[in-house]
Structure 1
Amino acid sequence: MSDMIALLNDLSYIPPNNEQNEPTQGDIGETSNEPTQAKRNKFEELYASANEELYPGCDYVTRLDFMAKFTYFKVKGQLTDSMFNEMLEFFQHVFPTTKGYKLPPSYYAIKKTFKMIGLGYESIHAYVNDCFLFRGDNNKDVHCPVCKTSRWKDSSTPRKKVPKKVLRYFSIIPRLQRLYKSSHTAKEMTWHATGKCTEPGKMQHPVDGRAWKNFDTKYPNFAKEPRNVRLGLAADGFNPFGNLSQAYSMWPVILTTYNLPPWLCMKESSFMLTLLIPGPKSPGKDIDVYLRPLIDDLKVLWALKGVETIDVATGQKFNMRAMVLWTINDFPARSSLSGWSGQGYKACPTCNEDTPSVRVLGKTAYVGHRRFLKKPHKWRRSLEFNGEIEDGDPPRKFDRDQIQAQLARLPTRVKGKHPSYGGVKIKRNVLVELNWTKRSIFYELEYWSFLTLKHNLDIMHIEKNVLEAILNTLLMNDKSKDTAKARQDLKKLGIRSGLWLGQTKNGKCSKPQAAYSFSPENRKKFCQFIKGVKLPDGFGSNFKHKVTDNDTNITGLKSHDCHIMMQRLLPYGLQQYLPDEVAKPIIELCSFFKQICSATLMEDDMLKAQIKWSIFCAISSSYILLLSLTL
């Protein structure tokens, strides 16, 4: 009860000596053209419900608390709206309102109440082929201007028409304003300017990074106001039904606030869901269509005027501005957001047109990691990696003007996924400029092209992929990267003759035992070691259930399980079952992941780790991606 009242007190706060000023955008609920007095009356009614007893003598919950808790049960139990309304109707009969009970009549009434607090969202109809949104001047359209498909599932029904796709948008402007209107978060929103670490070379927050500092240098007017907001954006697809046999991909877009200290900015309660992009298929490179409402709000927040906001920490109004510092994604999602395809001969977005790649049996391999080694390094002269001497320089660093020139040569592409209409195939633009597939919508933000680091790769995804590639190859299971095709690639390049496929007396194909995989006996011992691991409660999964019954394979590892396996278990488990020349590089790789996942980093340590990573990539490339460490 006290939490609800505190929340409403923050929302209704008016600075001293400003009683006559009308509330700013987001002060009471959502933005509306409703007269201020009418909004004030509704808010007073809401405030009264936070103090109103559910029934005479009830001191456990108020009417507003009951609605919040009961809605939580609906979400947790996955109840339908109709079932929820039936339960409310049942409560109405059991607890008659004539005896003083204040129960809400329906789920719709509860949603209207919460909308006044600012917990509502905007439903935006979308075309089924991901090519258009019904908003603004096009809000009343009923057909796609390109493929002419209908907006409705059944356009002939006399009842209320149901749209084929609905985008949910949670406006970020009132939510950012609420961070300064809450007494719990207003002071923390300037931590990056007042409480950050001052030790040189130490990094524990994005404010200590080069990207933040370079932005402050480029835009000093934005940097001089510590209350301006820096955001990080993350997006990825997931199956909301929890049933892997049913193909469905829904994409949430989440923002986190980097003004907060490190122990808060990555806390789940600090994440802001801004977009919920519907499925059933991934939007792919057409995700820009759904990002349009968010980008429009970000443009308003970047404008010099900003958005007038109340800061309860100082009791003053100020013009709040905001910017997106970078995105955080896995590699496929990065391709959708950035416009640079993660497939093909030029898949590396950093190397750009200098990406080294070769075509091997059935796939593209990315080699040339020795370019990062120093010129006199002995491995540059070795022929055991790909049969050639490496004399190349590290890839160039492409500046803003070069990237802009590449994007300027892109043709205007047709948005959406509509292969044909009326029997006539719609012409789609082919890739004509390296791996660029589009000009990302983020480039509409004035500052985006000047950012030092636009897109981050999620370390948990990378760690999981690397661990699975190494573990499967060590165990030589069905998902091993050491396949017959990989061995044929070695013979084709004329390297590692000891690993080439042979032939038995019976004419069958034989695969020599590799030094980088366990023998059948050691494989069983390693699995038994993992099976016997006991972790503290809540630290991780029970690895006993991840090992198969015959102790020859490890399956069902989740992302956090891979995190524990890579940094804690693998270094200790493999060193007695593999030769030192194989075990040592893998152990150093595990140490590298443990280092970059630390809460505090030292810049000198990261420079040393970068050198070690270059060496490991050179080692892995010698096996023609048997460990699948491509990027």
Structure 2
Amino acid sequence: MDKGRMLADRRSLRFQIGFEAFLKFASANAADKSSIRCPCTKRCNHLGFTIRVIKDHVYFNGILTNYFNWKHHGEPSTMNAASEIEFETVEMSGDVDSEDSEGEEISSDSNEFLRFVEDGDKPLYPGCTKTTKLNGLVQTFNLKAKHGMTDACYSDMLLMIGGLLPEGNEVPASLYEAKKTLAVLGMEYEKIHACPNDCILYRGRHAEATSCPTYLESRYKMGEDQVVKVKIPAKVLWYFPIIPRFRRMFQSTKTAKALTWHATDRKIDAFMRHPANSPNWKNVDTKWPEFGKEASSLSSRYSCWPVILVTYNLPPWLYMKRKYLMLSLLIAGPKQPGNDIDVYLQPLIDDLKKLWQGVERVYGAIREEYFTLKAVLLWTINDFPAYGNLSGCVTKGYKGCHVCADECKPKWLKHSKKMAFMRHCQFLPRHHPYRKQAAAFDNTIEEDVSPSPLSGEEVLLRVEGLDNKWGKTQPKRQTYKGRKEDRPCWKKKSIL
């Protein structure tokens, strides 16, 4: 008998077949069929019940994963040669004791998700063939978001829909129940209070603070008499944790297969077919070969700034699809964060650091085993002003070119009141005829070679001594003293 079936997910057909065989064996060998020991994780073979009760217990609590020798149900404690051969056919190899079995149990996270999947696949009401409980719930949530429905209105709508459908329908009775269901799917979020001047997030050591430690700005909106009447946060960051959603992605066989496409099915040649062909990706593989051993990457107006992660492990035709774009942050107004965006990126960076080290015991549906989930931030995609805010590089004025940096050749056009950047011919080949045509440009013969972009290490050396200060209120940040053309290229050391 294949006892490995007893370790399969208890909602699968494989487990059902193995468990039925176990129940028949236990019943046939029981001295008292009304008092058979229950092998569920709660009773642990210590109490006796009928077969029917045992069945309910196991499906509800799960079965002991180290229970291979059914000595409490009639199987001899010492296995003969034939049974040893049979035992070797089990998918798990080696002796299994109570200590080792702890590493082989289906995690509570996976169990909860699998229960949700089974629950979500239920028909919306008995006999319904058009939609499931999950589809109906997602559709109502979309309506709530699209039309700005209040929580009370949404709850009343659920009650109305439930009353119109036949008895036994699966419509949640309230917004609270609906949120509990979707939270299991990995759609939970954290509302983190922020200083209205973008100085700090009220998390970690500032979690209990009621005012900004730098500028003493109140955490909450003030009344006309400058008194906090109702605790309404002045500014809120919506953070959508990314690690639970990565876990969910690998628990879908279809998505898990797509996430390993870059390592198993991608055509490798001299062409750029996938981000895995990029220098950044190859640099990670070369410098940290241990990182990518398990094939399983990432990538920013009233004012609302979204920060979206793109999972580049997926095939090129999937990773920009809406369903795979992972919203991680929503920075709500009233002001855009600007250079203070680093303050709001802190929770995301914390999770990215965890993913760099590796999140253990993530269940992969393709191989049906646990692995260590890792992710690395390869690059950011943004417009030029946002690039300046993220990197800390000046993107306008005398040092407005991030490639030339200190070697910029700016010229102020006093009539149009704009900054123009000269010496473009230096980017041409050494003997290009345009380099000698001084009269066609600004009467300068170009002999300089083009500047080389700074490497990451060179950038770090330049920003190492910068003192990052966050916030937009008094006292004002220290201004640069000296000629504008001598202003440094870097404003801060980026959190990235």
Instruction: For residue 290 of structure 2, give the secondary structure of its aligned residue in structure 1.
Output: helix
SS at match of 1:251: strand
Residue from 183, 194, 207 that aligns with 2:264: 194
| Displacement after TM superposition at 1:297 (Å) | 0.8
TM-score by length of 2: 0.72
Aligned counterparts of 1:137 and 1:340: Cα–Cα separation in 2? 29
- Identify the structure with bigger relative contact order (alpha carbons < 8 Å, sequence gap 6+): 1
Instruction: Find the counterpart in structure 2 of residue 297 from structure 1.
Output: 351
Greater alpha carbon shift after TM alignment, 50-59 vs 179-188:
50-59
> Given that residues 304 and 330 in structure 2 are in contact (C-alpha distance below 8 angstroms), is that contact kept between their aligned partners in structure 1?
yes
CA contact (8 A) 1:413 1:428 kept: no
The aligned amino acid for 2:232 is: V
**Which residue matches 1:231?**
298
Aligned residue number for residue 209 of structure 1: 278
Aligned with 1:106 (options 174, 180, 183): 174
Q: Is the 8 A contact 1:356 1:366 kept in 2?
A: yes
- Partner Cα separation in structure 2 for residue 209 and residue 104 of structure 1: 47
Q: Between Structure 1 and Structure 2, how many residues are aligned?
A: 395
**Match of 1:336, SS?**
helix
Deviation, structure 1 residue 168: 1.0
Q: How far does the alpha carbon of each residue in 1:563-612 deviate from its partner, in whole angstroms, 9 at most, with x for none?
A: xxxxxxxxxxxxxxxxxxxxxxxxxxxxxxxxxxxxxxxxxxxxxxxxxx
Alpha-carbon shift at residue 349 of structure 1 (Å)? 1.1
Q: CA deviation at 1:48?
A: 6.4
Cα displacement (A) at 1:86: 3.5
Letter in 2 for 1:280: P
- Distance (Å, rounded) in 2 between the aligned partners of 1:117 and 1:205: 29
In structure 2, the CA distance between the partners of 1:379 and 1:403, relative to structure 1 (3 Å rule), is: same
Query: How do 1:252-271 and structure 2 match up within 5 A?
Result: 252-271=306-325
Contact 1:351-1:395 at 8 Å conserved across structures: yes
Question: Retained in 1: the 8 A contact 2:221–2:232?
Answer: yes
Separation of aligned partners in 2, 1:217 and 1:63 = 47
Partner in structure 2 of residue 27 of structure 1:
110
Judging changes above 3 Å, is the alpha-carbon distance between structure 1 residues 358 and 88 closer, same or farther for their aligned structure 2 residues?
same
The answer to whether residue 476 in structure 2 is matched with residue 406 in structure 1 is no
Contact 2:222 2:229 survives alignment (8 Å): no
> How far does residue 62 in structure 1 lie from its aligned partner after superposition?
3.9
Structure 1 residue 23: deviation in Å? 4.8
Quote the residue 1:76 is aligned against. Answer: 146
Question: What is the 5 A alignment of 1:236-385?
Answer: 238=301, 248-303=302-357, 305-361=358-414, 362-382=417-437, 383-385=439-441
Residue in structure 2 matched with residue 579 of structure 1 by the alignment: none
- In structure 1, list runs of 5 or more residues that go unmatched: 1-5, 29-39, 239-247, 443-631
Kindly state the Cα deviation for residue 102 of structure 1 after the two structures are TM-superposed. Answer: 4.6
- 1:85-138 deviation per Cα after TM superposition (whole angstroms, max 9, x unaligned): 34334446x5399x5455423223311221122211111111111111111232
Amino acid at match of 1:80: T
Counterpart-to-counterpart distance in 2, 1:378 and 1:384: 11
Q: Deviations over 1:491-542 (max 9, x none)?
A: xxxxxxxxxxxxxxxxxxxxxxxxxxxxxxxxxxxxxxxxxxxxxxxxxxxx
| Inter-partner Cα distance in structure 1 for 2:431 and 2:128 | 81
- Match of residue 250, structure 2, among 180, 201, 205: 180
Alpha-carbon deviation of 1:157? 6.1
By how many angstroms is 1:283 displaced? 0.3
How many percent identity over aligned positions? 38
Match of 2:97 in 1: none
- The two structures, once aligned, show a CA RMSD in angstroms of 3.1
Contact (CA 8 Å) 1:285, 1:337: kept in 2 or not?
yes
Distance in 2 (CA, whole Å) between partners of 1:297 and 1:124 is: 15
Q: Is residue 2:442 matched to residue 1:386?
A: yes
| Offset of residue 58 of structure 1 | 3.6
Q: TM-score, normalised by structure 1?
A: 0.58
Closer, same or farther: CA 109–316 of 1 in aligned 2, 3 Å: closer
1:289 deviates by 0.3
| Structure 1 residue 158: Cα displacement | 6.7
Deviation at 1:141, TM superposition (A): 1.1
Change (3 A) 1:55 1:183: closer
Give the Cα–Cα distance (whole angstroms) in 1 for the partners of residues 130 and 320 of structure 2.
Answer: 33
Structure 1 letter corresponding to 2:259? M
Query: Does the CA contact (< 8 Å) of 1:25 and 1:174 recur in 2?
Result: no
Distance across 2 between alignment mates of 1:196 and 1:48: 33
Q: Decide whether aligned partners of structure 1 residues 101 and 375 sit closer, same or farther in structure 2, where only a CA change above 3 A counts.
A: closer
Q: Deviations over 1:411-442 (max 9, x none)?
A: x1320111x2xxxx344354886221110001
The unaligned stretches of length 5 or more in structure 2 are 1-8, 13-58, 66-90, 93-99
Q: How does 1:590-609 map to 2 (within 5 A)?
A: none
Distance in 1, Cα, partners of 2:428 & 2:215? 52
